[in-house]
Homo-oligomer: A and B are copies of this chain.
Amino acid sequence: METFVMSDQQTAAGELIVVDWGTTNFRAFLLDKNAQIIKQVSAASGVLAVSNGQFEAALNNYISDWCCDKHIPVIMAGMVGSKVGWQDTGYLHCPVSLSKSAQHLVHLDVASSQQKFIVPGFKYQPQHGASDVMRGEEVQVFGALSIIEQEQGVISEAELARSIFCLPGTHSKWACVSKDCNGESVITRFSTHMTGEVFDLVTKHSILSAGLTQQNKEADTDLSQFLHGVSCSQSKGGLLHHLFSARTLQLENKLPEAAVYSYISGLIVGAELHSVIANEPVLEHIYLIGNNRLNNLYSAALLSLGYSSTILNSSQASINGMFAIAKQAELISSIEVTL
């Protein structure tokens, strides 16, 4: 198990430990009273890597050095709260506000005196069709809202109605936010798109990737070919049809080998954007909450389709979201919190 201690920048007092614990990755941050990072650790040690339910031991393995003061509370989000995680925390049904999320924090019954909580997942049940679920992304949306409000001031209800929050990834999430009667932001609905996973399937196992090397896959994205794919995906025919164009363009020597993955990425991301945008008639602006690479690709794709976007780092959004929930739940002792 590889562990990276990423930084140890300050000596301020730790107030909160936030943990983003997903299927394949673990990240923990020791924060001060202003949500500034004092220490952080990350590892490729998601919940699936924890054997025999030894979650507390796994967690302590990473953060025990930070806990000379045993009263620093720990707040966790992600798959750690699923059936395959530490404890199944269930789902809160949308619409859900940050304060409702804080009220329903699940307090783990553990041996140590250190308080540990998991944020429940969210579920959205549309009037027709299957329900949708998320774990971890809900805190990122709340965190993104807090970052935006810190930087730009409060977002108006009218602005929210013309905006959507996109969390690109293996299973991308798209969340709509509005204000409730108390003026609090609530996540009203969301949908999942298996964009990253389908890209992975197609580029690993399909006829479209036959003969291509790992080098092709690892090459930097060819933005021009990516946008060509996005453009193709907006024409009629649907994803199952558009994918075949990666084949015919190769047959006609119109798609260089080095650009095949970029083009397919454009086709699949473009299909996702097309599906979402078609159902959001008043949409103008997208808040992107992902890693740098995905944020930049999605931003370029959206611009090519006439939409503006704001880029937010998903890791920072996760930290800020959990901090905001912990603050709301009064887990942070200091009253000087300024976030």
Contacts and interface: CB of A to CB of B under 8 A. Distances in A.
Most buried by B among A205, A240, A252: A240
A30 B195 CA distance: 48
Interface in A244-282: 244-245, 248-249, 251-252, 268, 271-272, 274-276, 278-279
A157 interface: no
Contacts of A155: none
Most buried by B among A201, A236, A241, A251: A241
Given A239-B238, A275-B240, A252 B205 contact: no
Q: How many copies does the complex hold?
A: 2
Interface residues of A, number: 45
A6 interface: no
A163 interface: no
Interface stretch (A35-43, A108-116, A124-132): A124-132
Given A206-B201, A251-B133, A239 B271 contact: yes
A245 B245 CA distance: 27
Contact of A252 (B131, B241, B243, B249): B131
Contact of A235 (B129, B132, B193, B248): B129
Given A201-B206, A275-B238, A278-B236, A244 B129 contact: no
A198 interface: yes
A204 interface: yes
Given A205-B205, A248-B131, A194 B243 contact: yes
